[in-house]
Amino acid sequence: MSDKITIEIDGRTCEAAPGEMIITVADREGISIPRFCYHEKLSIAANCRMCLVEAEQGGRPFPKPVPACATPVGDGMKVQTRSRKALDAQRGTMEFLLINHPLDCPICDQGGECELQDVSMGYGEDVSRFTERKRVVKDEDLGPLIATEMTRCIHCTRCVRFGAEIAGVRELGATGRGEDMRIGTFVAHTVAHELSGNIIDLCPVGALTSKPYRFTARAWELTAEPSIAPHDAVGSNIQLHVRNGRVMRVHPRDNEAINETWISDRDRFSYEGLNAASRLTAPMIKGDSGWAETDWQSVLHWVADGLQRVVADSGADQLGWLMAPGSTLEELYLGQKLLRGLGGRNIDSRLRQQDFSGDAADPALPWLGLPIADLEQQRAVLLIGSDIRQEQPLLAHRLRKAALAGAMVGLVNPYRVELTHPSRQLPAAPGRLAAELAAIAKAAGAGGRSSLKGLIATADSGDVHAEIAAALKQAGADGNGLVLLGALAEASPDFGLLKALAYQIADATGCRIGFLPPAANSTGAAFAGALPHRLPGARAVDVPGLDALAQLTEPRKAYVLWGIDPAHDLIDPARAVAALAGADLVVACTAFRTPSLEAVADVLLPISAFAETSGTFVNAAGDWQRFQGAVAPPGDARPGWKLLRVLGNMLELTGFEYASARDIHDALAAQCADRAPDNTPRAEYPVGTTAEAADGTLMRVGNVPIYAVDALVRAAPALQRTPLSAPLHLQLHPADAEALGLQDGDQVEVAQGPARACMPVHVSDDLARGGGRIPAAVPGSGQLGAQIGPIRVAKVSGENDQ
Amino acid sequence: MSFRNAPLAVIHDVDKDTLFTPEIRAEIDRHVAKYPPEWKQSAVMPALTLVQDHNGGWLSRELMDQVAAYLDMPEVSVYEVATFYGMYDLEPVGRHKVCVCNSISCMLGGSEELMQHIEHKYNVAPGETTADGKFTFKEFECLGACRHAPAVMVDKTYHECVTPESFDKLIKKLD
C-alpha cells in the first residue's frame, strides 16, 4: 500500500493518508463540513450525525449518507459535501438537534459564538415544524468554575471524552437513554481537575459556560488581545477578551508546540485577581500616622534619595534586591541593571530555593532540556521532587500522553502524587530523597565521584529502583529518556545533592536532564541576569552577590521587593518578615497590597500586573514570547519597566533611555544572541550531608498548592473556592500520627524554630513517613519557616474534645 | 484520533476480596475471562445482572460502585450502563418483575389494552410496585417476541399472546 492516496471532495482532488477520516482531509483542504461531536484532539464518537456527506467508492455509491468524521478514506473515493442528498441529511439532523434545544439564545452566554447557531444558520431550516413540548433537564453543579444549563445540551459528549481521554478522570457521563439521556456526574459532585475549564471551550452550545464570566458580556463586545499565560513555565498562548479596559475572560490560542489547544484553569480564571479589592492603585508612603497616598514624582525622589543614602552611608552591598520570577524579562533586566548601576550585586529571583551550594556548578541557562512537545515522545521519565500536576498542569498532560503510550514515569517525591496514568512512585521524607536517588543510581550502575561513591554504594536498591533504572537505561540508549527536577527538589535543603545525583543518574543511563522552572520567567531571569551570579546573557559574575536566602539570613540595610508578598512568595516567610522588619528602608513595588507588605515596607509603588504591561516571558523550553499590554493598570499604577526607567534616570544611571518595552527587549536580546539554554554543568556539584530530621521532629513538606502560586492567583476568588484550594493543614503518615497520638481532625500547634502556627491534622498514607505536609503560600502559612525544614508538632485539642 | 481507545481504567482503593460474595466474584470472573485483559470492563453487564439478582432485583449506588471497583472502571461508566438498559432497576422492586412490551408489534397486538387492564385491576402504574409488594410493573422496550405479540416477561420467563385473562392467571400463580 502506498503512503498516499487520492480522493475527490466536491470535485477537488485531495491527497490523503490511508485510514484518515474524510473530515480530516476536508479540514486540511479548507472544505467545511458541519460537526458537533468531532474534535481533532478527542476520539471519534460519531454520535451527532451532523457531518453526513454523500460518498462513493470505486464507482459504487454508499447506500446512505455517511458520517465524514467516522468514514475512512479509500483510494479514488468521491465525496460530495454539498449535494442534494448530503444537504438533506444535514438539514434533517439539524432539525432533530433543535427539537429539544431551547430558544434562549438572547440570554445565553454562548450566543454569538455558538457552533449550534452557526451551523443552524448555514445548514438548517428557517422554520421549525416541531410543536410539541421541549424537554427540560435539571442542572448539574460542577463547581465554582463551570456554569451549566443542561437543557441546552445536544449530547455531543465532547466533555465526557475530554474527561476520559485528556484529563484522565472520568467524572462526567451520559446517563439514561433516549429523551432521558443527560450529561452529568449522576451523583452530585464537583468536577475537580486542573484542566477542567477546557470543557467550556469544547462545548459547542451554551450548556457549559464560564461561571465567573457568566452574564457579564456578550461575545461581540469583546476584543481579543493575544498574550502569554503568567503562572507556570509553559508559556501557554492565550487570548485576553477585553471590554472597556477590563479583562472579561481568557481563552486559549492554538499553539501545537506549547499548549496545543488547552490551557489550565489557573491561566483561564486568574484574570479575576486583576480586579481584586487588594489592588494597589496609588503610590503610598508610611508616615507616623500610617499609610498615606502620595504622588509618583515625590515618592520616586524619596526612593532615589533613600537608595543613594544607603549606598553612600553603608555601601551598595547593603542593598538587597528580590524580584518575582514571574516578572517580565524587561523588568528583570532593568531591575538588575539599576542595582548593578548603583554598585550593588545582591539580586535574586530564585525565591523558593534554600540550598545554593550548587550555584557554581549550575548550568548557565538551565531549562527543560527539550522542546515541550517532545515530552510526549519520551519513553522513560524520572521526576524528582515535583508535584507536576500542580506545578505545570500542561507539562503533566504531555507526560500523561507519554505514559499512556507506554512510557515509564517514575517519581521520587516527599509524597505520593495523584496522577491519572500509570507511574512508579517512591515517596520518601525530604531527608531520604537523596537515598532513593542513590538507590536508583546504584541500580543503574553509576559509580559516582569520590564524594557520591559512598552514598551510592551504601544505597539499598529494591525492585522499583531497578525497574526505574532499567527503563531509564533502555530509553536513554534510544535517546528518549529524561530526568526532571521540580519545585519540591528546588525547595529542598539538599537541592545541590539532589542535582548531583540527578546528573549521576542521567550520565549512567544516557538520559537527558531537565529542570522544571518554577515560574513563567525563571528561565528568563537567567537570560536577564536577575541572579546574584549571572549578568545579562547569563555571563558569569566575578564576585557573586548574596542569594535570595542569604539576603535574609545576613540582613541588609535596604531592600527592594519586586512583585513579592513576603509572607507568601519567599521560602522562609518568618525569617523574611523579621529581616525586612529590621531594615532601614524597604521599597515594595507591587500590584497588590498585602498585610505582610504593609507591615514591613516603607513605600508601596503600584506596578502593573499581568495583562497590563507589555513584556516577554521565556518559557521552560527557552522560547522567548513577547506580548502586549491589553488593559491599562488601575489608578496610578504604572508598567514596571517605566518605573525602573524613571528611577534609573533619577539616579542618573546610564543606559536607561528606553522608549518602549520593545527597546529593552532588543537590548537584552542583542546580549543573548549567542546564548542558548544548555544543561551541561559547569563544575562538579559539591556534596554536603543530607538534612535528616532530628529525633522528635518531622520534616515539613511545604508544597505550593496550584492556586497559591502567585499574588494574582491568590486574589482570584473562583479559583480559591475550588476543591484544589486547601486551607492550611498538617498532613501526616498514619504511623507518625499514631506515634504522636494524633487523629484525623485534631488541632495541633506546629513549631518551626521560633515560628508557630495552629492547624488541623489530616492523616494520609500518601505522605512518606517522617514528613509533615503543610502547604506554603496559603493563608496562615506566612507565620511559619522554611518550606522544607524540621518541625515539631504538639496537640492542642482533639476533634471530639470541648 | 482513533475509534478504539482502550477504555479508561481506574484502580479503586478497595480490597476486591471484600466485595460481594466469593460465589458472585467467581461468576463475574468467568465473564471477565471472555475478554482481553484491558477490556475487562466488557463484563459490566453480566456483572450488574448477577449483583442485581443477588440483591432482590435492584441495584443500589453502593453496589454499582462496587461493580466499578471490581472491574477497575470509573463509577460513572457503570451508572451509564445501568441507567441505559431497562432490565436494571435502581430502586427497590417487588417480589417479581412483570415487563410488558410496548413496541410496535405488541402494541398492534393489544399491549395497550393489556397495560390498561393491569393499571386498573392491580392499581399500579408503569414503574410502580403493587401495594402488596407482589410485583413491579414495567413498560418495556421491544422484548423481541414479535411473532406472538403481545409479549410479557415475568421475571425471566417469556409469555406470548398474552390477554388480560391469561395475564390474571399468570399473576395468580406467583407467590
pLDDT in tens, A685-740: 888 766 666 777 899 999 999 999 999 999 999 999 998 888 899 999 999 999 99
Q: Which residues of B touch A40 (CB under 8 A)?
A: 1
Q: Which whole number is the average pLDDT over A197-216?
A: 95
Cβ-defined contact of A173 to B3 (cutoff 8 Å): no
Task: Determine the pLDDT at residue A687.
Answer: 81
Identify whether residues B73 and B104 lie together within a single domain: no
Residue B118, in any domain of the structure: yes
Residues A193 and A243 in one domain: yes
The CA R_g of chain A, rounded to the nearest whole Å, is 28
Q: What is the pLDDT of residue A802?
A: 44
Q: Are residues B104 and B147 in the same domain?
A: yes
In a shared domain, residues A189 and A242 = yes
Q: Do the beta carbons of residue A696 and residue A792 sit within 8 Å?
A: yes
Q: Which domain holds residue A51?
A: 5-96
pLDDT computed for residue A781 by the predictor: 92
Q: Is the pLDDT of residue A189 over 80?
A: no
Residue of A nearest to B88 (CA): A176
Who's near B151: CB < 8 A, 6+ residues apart?
B101, B106, B143, B145, B158, B159, B160, B162
Whether pLDDT at B1 is above 80? no
Does residue B14 surpass a pLDDT of 90? no
pLDDT at A275: 94
The mean pLDDT value for B138-155 works out to: 92
CATH number of the structural domain spanning residue A641: 3.40.50.740
What is the predicted pLDDT for the residue at B4? Answer: 54
Q: Is B161 annotated as a binding residue?
A: no
Considering only alpha carbons, which residue of chain B is nearest residue A41? Answer: B1
Final residue of a domain: which of B55, B84, B113?
A: B84
pLDDT band with cut points at 50, 70 and 90 for residue A2: low
Q: How far apart are CA A618 and CA A228, in angstroms?
A: 10
pLDDT of residue B5: 65
Question: How is residue A694 written as a grid cell?
Answer: 532530628
Dihedral in degrees, nearest 10, Cα atoms A780, A783, A785, A790: -70
Are A144 and A268 in contact by the 8 Å Cβ rule? The answer is no
Q: For position A756, which CATH number holds?
A: 2.40.40.20
Q: What ipTM, to 2 d.p.?
A: 0.88
Domain CATH number, residue B25: 1.10.10.1590
Over 70: is that where the pLDDT of A798 sits? Answer: no
Q: What is the rounded average pLDDT of the residues A572-600?
A: 95
In terms of domains, do A69 and A43 share one? yes
Q: Does B142 appear as a known binding residue? A: yes
Are B75 and B103 in the same domain? Answer: no
Q: For residue range A313-339, what is the model confidence (pLDDT) as tens digits?
A: 999 999 999 999 999 999 999 999 999
Any idea of the CA torsion for A394, A399, A405, A407, to the nearest 10 degrees? Answer: 180
Contact call for A175 and B75, based on CB within 8 A: no
Segment B116-126 mean pLDDT:
94
CB within 8 Å: B83 and A177? yes
Range B69-91 average pLDDT: 94
* Domain count across chain A: 5
Question: Is beta strand A5-9 parallel, antiparallel or unpaired with respect to A60-61?
Answer: unpaired
The reported pLDDT for the residue numbered A239 is 96
Are residues B52 and B103 located together in one domain of the fold?
no
Compute the nearest-CA separation of B76 from chain A (Å).
6
Q: Hey, is A245 helix, strand or coil? A: coil
Nearest to A171 among B1, B3, B76 (CB): B76
What's residue A128's pLDDT? 83
Asked if A173 lies within 8 A of B84 by C-beta distance, the reply is: no
Whether residue B95 has pLDDT greater than 90 = yes
Are residues A511 and A525 located together in one domain of the fold? no
Residues 6+ apart with CB under 8 A from B133: B94, B95
Is the CB of A173 less than 8 angstroms away from the CB of B77?
A: yes
Q: For position A691, what pLDDT does the model report?
A: 64
Chain A positions with Cβ closer than 8 Å to B: 40-44, 70, 164-165, 168-177, 180, 185-187
Q: Is residue A683 part of a domain?
A: no
Strand-strand pairing, A347-348 and A319-323: parallel
Q: What is the mean pLDDT of residues A54-69?
A: 94
- Per the structure, the complete domain to which residue B130 belongs is given by 96-173
| CA A510/CA A481 separation, integer angstroms | 7
Check if the beta carbon of residue A323 is closer than 8 Å to that of residue A644. no
B106 annotated ligand-binding residue: yes
Q: Which amino acid is at A375?
A: L
Output the CA–CA distances (angstroms, integers) from residue B34 to A276, A724, A778, B52, B163, in the order listed. Answer: 59, 40, 51, 21, 41
List the Cα angle B65/B68/B69 in 5-degree steps.
Answer: 90
Higher pLDDT, A278 or A802: A278
Does A187 sit within 8 Å of B3, measured CB to CB? Answer: no
User: What nine digits make up the cell of A563?
Assistant: 512583585
**B68 occurs within a structural domain:** yes
* Under 8 Å between Cβ of A91 and A20: no
Q: pLDDT digits over A118-151, tens only?
A: 999 998 888 888 888 899 999 988 999 999 999 9
Q: A520: closest CA among A786, A249, A710, A279?
A: A710
A730: three-class secondary structure by DSSP: strand
Mean pLDDT is lowest, of A163-167, A444-448, A544-548, A562-566, for: A444-448
In terms of domains, do B53 and B110 share one?
A: no
Last residue of a domain, one of A232, A254, A275: A275
Average pLDDT value for chain A = 93
User: Looking at residue B2, what is its pLDDT?
Assistant: 44
pLDDT at A216 over 50: yes
Same domain, A63 and A199: no
Segment A640-677, tens digit of pLDDT = 999 999 999 999 999 999 999 999 999 999 999 999 99
* Same domain assignment for residues A497 and A598: no
Residue type, A8: E
Q: How many helices (H) and strands (E) does chain A have?
A: 25, 35
DSSP strand pairing (A771-773 vs A730-732): antiparallel
How many beta-carbon pairs below 8 A join chains A and B? 52
B101 known ligand binder: yes
CATH number at residue A202: 3.30.70.20
Domain end call among B84, B104, B125: B84
- Write out the H or E segment, with its range, that includes residue B117: helix B111-122
CATH code: domain of residue A434: 3.40.228.10
CB contact under 8 A, B74 and A170: yes
Average pLDDT, chain B: 92
Q: How many CB atoms lie within 10 A of CB A681?
A: 18
Q: What is the pLDDT of residues A747-788, one digit of tens each?
A: 999 999 889 999 999 999 999 999 999 999 999 999 999 999
Half-sphere exposure of A113 (CA within 13 A, CB side): 15
Instruction: Give CA–CA dist A194/A392, Å, rounded.
Output: 10
> CA torsion sign, A346 to A283 to A629 to A248?
positive
Scored b (16 or more CB within 10 A) or e, A350-386 reads: bbbbbbbbbbbbbbbbbbbbbebebbbbbbbbbbbbb
